[in-house]
A and B are shown apart, each in its own frame.
Chain A
Amino acid sequence: MSVAARLARAFVASLRRTLAVARKELHQLGRDRLSIGLVAGVPALQLILFGFAINMDVRHVPTAVLDRSQSALSRRILGELAATQTFRLVRGVRDEREAIRLLETSEVGAVIVIPADFDRHFYRGRGAQISIMADASDPTVASAVGLAGQGFGRDLAARMQPFVTGASSAARGLVPLDRPAFGPRSELVVPEPIGIEVLPFYNPERRTAVFVVPGLVGVILTMTMMLMTALAIVRERERGTFEFLIATPVRRTEVMIGKILPYLGVGFVQVALVLALGVLLFSVPIRGSLIDLAIGTAPFLAAMLSMGLVVSAVARSQFQAMQLSFFFFLPSMLLSGFMFPFDAMPELAQKIGSVLPLTHYLRIVRGIVLKGAPLSSLGDEIAATSAFFAAALFVAAATFRKRL
């Protein structure tokens, strides 16, 4: 027999053993009420619980600037907006298209648009208008931006009040903005303050559920996928069936892949379940392509399943597996941007968060579902979850032993 034929036969034999493990796993899964509950019950429960989320105080929203006025006045206004600490001005953009692309990929949470005729309107004292495009798919960010915008507008109005109402020279001295702006034309009373218009994008009604549901997809997958894989292996150890299994010709990679395969399917079922419930109960719009979502979900699922393998290599009992899973699950939930807006977290928390696959998956799932972002714009996030998958698989392969 040629080398190639022998390799092919060995591969087919290996595939058969892998599928035998997967089939066995499916049989067991179908009979385990607890696992079925984990697959179906947890998503339903969480969806309803998190449908009522809490609003948070948001600061340092990364913000892009589309300054068409390019004047001393516009720079002054931007400086004051940045000083409110709600906005963190990260970059300028050239046009609306670029602005929307940045919003779509979550690179920024808001875009401040200062129109070209801003100065003219301002000096005329009428109709000076600034727009803030806010990513309202996260309602907490949107409402914070809205509040900050309105507050800034009111504040500006209050500081201009003495000038507006009284025409005395003493009052003129109190004008807070650029003297030249008011100086020569101070006789021209400013009858209305600068209008601040907030344009909520993606989730105009700013409904929390709309934002939470896609994120919940990631949270539920993190919780159930890792735990189910870990339990599937630890259970074999606990019940003694592992000893039978490892005394057979089955290879450890075959055990690992055979264990993971059924749960990949289960994961996709969960995604479908959560989204379907989200659409039915909370009218969550699905703007992107479901195929994109499936492709974007696969590496994240694989990452979570591999984490389950890592947990199973360490845990000696189902209870330990449960504890270890929570050790990973809690930071995922808290630091990924699910509970608190990612940009509002302290720097250290952000650094930890950016290692967690959930952080990146949330951007993928929110991007596709809420903003209709194309997969191509989420390449970085997919690369990040894939890298985590590779790392977890490597650790799992290094620690998973076919020994007692």
Chain B
Amino acid sequence: MTNDGVPVIEAHALTRRFGSLTAVDAVDLEVRRGEIFGCLGPNGSGKSTLMRMLLGLLRPSAGTARVLGHEIPRDVERLRSDVGYMTQRFSLYEDLTVRENLEFAASIFGLHGRARRDRVAGALADHGLARYEKMRAAALSGGWKQRLGLAAATIHAPPLLVLDEPTAGVDPQSRREFWEELFELAAGGTTIFVSTHYMDEAVRCHRLCMLRDGRRVAVGAPRALTDALASRVVEISGTAADRAIAALRGSELVASTTQLGDTVHVLLREGAPSAAAAGGALEAFLAAAGLPGARAQPSPANLEDVFVALLLGERLVDDGRAGPASAHGVPAVSA
């Protein structure tokens, strides 16, 4: 990775309103060269709107942004040939074949003649699309469509790749392979700004920002984000998980519960005693509720816990740059 700290995307107080709805609310952002920067948030949290503003497809209502040194949206046309963009929905031509789609993308990005032939042949080979080249895009499965999307978005070898939930609805095996390709691109120096729903993908990003209701609520390396919930998670075993969950709804210590097989993953409420101390209290609470065998042990937090905590309105981690989160007095964690 060539992460030398050079900012590729810089956004300041970027805001977009649709009527009375504020889809993106004063978001600050810095994405550095060569990193895979994830954008995590529930549906409607403003991920797509943020990306579209950075690509000049939507005008910001307020705030400023620079992408690859170009001021957005003023100089966005100069940015175009240096960015690859993959939309959430498949946005290539379903009635064209795989090859025709790639040829069109190559032509539109200014490749022609031999350069175009070589790039298209290379893309077909690199993404394993060669045997489908004469097939209409409509006939491809979700995983292959998304590969074609990536092949088209990278046909001109752009230094910046913007991917809006590229793996939504794609099977796990295809997702793994897709991420392997992303890491290869990042290793080659491509900066990748990717939004996702999947926690297992978010963990793989170099850094993450989390959005809720259009606001940036956390930024940092995945590890830093989960560390912020270090002593907030307890795992309960030795009892019927469903009954334990029902009982724990009555506990003031518990923020959320998730059943994992026979065990229950418990996120403690903000301000609750640390996991070690709370464990004993929960065991006693469950025993009183008629579940005497329950055992509670501290457990490492995962990104889902972070997500849940954010949904509950907590402000967890921020890596220091100006933003709404730093006002909350939470210690900054740097990536």
Interface residues of chain A, those whose CB is within 8 Å of chain B, are 13, 16-17, 19-21, 23-24, 27-28, 31-32, 239-251, 403-404
Q: How far is the CA of A21 from the CA of B59 in the complex (A)?
A: 25
Known: A239-B94, A240-B87. A247 touches B100 (CB 8 A): no
Instruction: Kindly list chain B residues whose C-beta atoms are within 8 Å of the C-beta of A243.
Output: 57, 85, 87, 91
Q: How far is the CA of A248 from the CA of B158 in the complex (A)?
A: 11
Closest A residue to B81 by beta carbon equals A249
Closest B residue to A244 by beta carbon equals B91
Q: In the complex, are the beta carbons of B77 and A240 less than 8 A apart?
A: no
A255 to B: closest C-beta gap in Å:
10
Q: Which of B92, B110, B136 contacts A249 (CB 8 A)?
A: B110
Stretch at the interface among B63-71, B101-109, B121-129, B274-282: B101-109
Q: In the complex, are the beta carbons of B87 and A20 less than 8 A apart?
A: no
A104 to B: closest C-beta gap in Å:
47
Q: In the complex, are the beta carbons of B57 and A28 less than 8 A apart?
A: no
Closest A residue to B86 by beta carbon equals A244
14 pairs, A vs B, C-beta closer than 8 Å: A17-B107, A17-B108, A24-B93, A24-B100, A27-B100, A28-B93, A31-B95, A241-B92, A241-B93, A243-B87, A244-B87, A244-B92, A248-B105, A404-B58
Q: In the complex, are the beta carbons of B107 and A27 less than 8 A apart?
A: no
B88 to A: closest C-beta gap in Å:
9
What's the A-B contact tally at a CB cutoff of 8 Å?
72
A399 to B: closest C-beta gap in Å:
16
Q: How far is the CA of A19 from the CA of B105 in the complex (A)?
A: 13
Q: In the complex, are the beta carbons of B57 and A248 less than 8 A apart?
A: no
Q: How many B residues, CB 8 Å from partner?
A: 30
Closest B residue to A21 by beta carbon equals B108
Answer yes or no: B144 CB below 8 A from chain A CBs. no
B157 to A: closest C-beta gap in Å:
14
Answer yes or no: B112 CB below 8 A from chain A CBs. yes
Q: In the complex, are the beta carbons of B110 and A28 less than 8 A apart?
A: no
Instruction: Kindly list chain A residues whose C-beta atoms are within 8 Å of the C-beta of B91.
Output: 239-244
Closest A residue to B56 by beta carbon equals A403
Closest B residue to A14 by beta carbon equals B110
Q: Which of B59, B104, B110 contacts A24 (CB 8 A)?
A: B104
Q: In the complex, are the beta carbons of B80 and A248 less than 8 A apart?
A: yes
Instruction: Kindly list chain A residues whose C-beta atoms are within 8 Å of the C-beta of B87.
Output: 240, 243-244
Closest B residue to A241 by beta carbon equals B91
A24 to B: closest C-beta gap in Å:
5
Answer yes or no: B253 CB below 8 A from chain A CBs. no
Q: In the complex, are the beta carbons of B80 and A403 less than 8 A apart?
A: no
Instruction: Kindly list chain A residues whose C-beta atoms are within 8 Å of the C-beta of B96.
Output: 24, 27-28
Instruction: Kindly list chain A residues whose C-beta atoms are within 8 Å of the C-beta of B152.
Output: 244
Q: Which of B52, B80, B104 contacts A20 (CB 8 A)?
A: B104
Instruction: Kindly list chain B residues whose C-beta atoms are within 8 Å of the C-beta of A251.
Output: 77
Known: A21-B108, A241-B92. 18 other contacts (CB 8 A): A13-B110, A16-B107, A17-B108, A19-B107, A20-B104, A23-B104, A24-B96, A31-B95, A241-B91, A243-B57, A245-B108, A247-B55, A247-B80, A249-B77, A249-B80, A403-B57, A403-B58, A404-B57
Q: In the complex, are the beta carbons of B110 and A16 less than 8 A apart?
A: yes
In this complex, which of B90, B95, B105, B109 has the most chain A Cβ atoms within 10 angstroms of its Cβ? B95
A27 to B: closest C-beta gap in Å:
6
Known: A31-B95, A240-B89. A247 touches B81 (CB 8 A): no
Q: In the complex, are the beta carbons of B57 and A240 less than 8 A apart?
A: no
Instruction: Kindly list chain A residues whose C-beta atoms are within 8 Å of the C-beta of B90.
Output: 240
Q: Mark B38-78, 1 if CB is under 8 A from A, else 0.
A: 00000000000000100111110000000000000000010
Closest B residue to A258 by beta carbon equals B108
Q: In the complex, are the beta carbons of A247 and B85 less than 8 A apart?
A: yes
Answer yes or no: B83 CB below 8 A from chain A CBs. yes
Q: In the complex, are the beta carbons of A249 and B109 less than 8 A apart?
A: yes
Closest A residue to B57 by beta carbon equals A404
Instruction: Kindly list chain A residues whose C-beta atoms are within 8 Å of the C-beta of B58.
Output: 403-404
Closest B residue to A29 by beta carbon equals B95
Q: Which 3 A-B pairs have the closest CB atoms?
A: A20-B107, A244-B91, A249-B80
Closest B residue to A254 by beta carbon equals B108
Instruction: Kindly list chain B residues whose C-beta atoms are within 8 Å of the C-beta of A31.
Output: 95, 136
Q: How far is the CA of A17 from the CA of B52 in the complex (A)?
A: 23
Closest A residue to B78 by beta carbon equals A249
Near A by CB (< 8 A), chain B positions 120-151 give 136
Instruction: Kindly list chain A residues whose C-beta atoms are within 8 Å of the C-beta of B109.
Output: 248-249
Closest A residue to B101 by beta carbon equals A24
Q: How far is the CA of A244 from the CA of B83 in the complex (A)?
A: 11
Known: A240-B90, A404-B52, A404-B58. A248 touches B108 (CB 8 A): yes
Q: How far is the CA of A13 from the CA of B156 in the complex (A)?
A: 15
A80 to B: closest C-beta gap in Å:
67
Instruction: Kindly list chain B residues whose C-beta atoms are within 8 Å of the C-beta of A239.
Output: 91, 94
Q: How far is the CA of A19 from the CA of B55 in the complex (A)?
A: 25
Q: How far is the CA of A123 from the CA of B85 in the complex (A)?
A: 92
Q: Mark B201-225, 1 if CB is under 8 A from A, else 0.
A: 0000000000000000000000000
Instruction: Kindly list chain A residues whose C-beta atoms are within 8 Å of the C-beta of B100.
Output: 24, 27
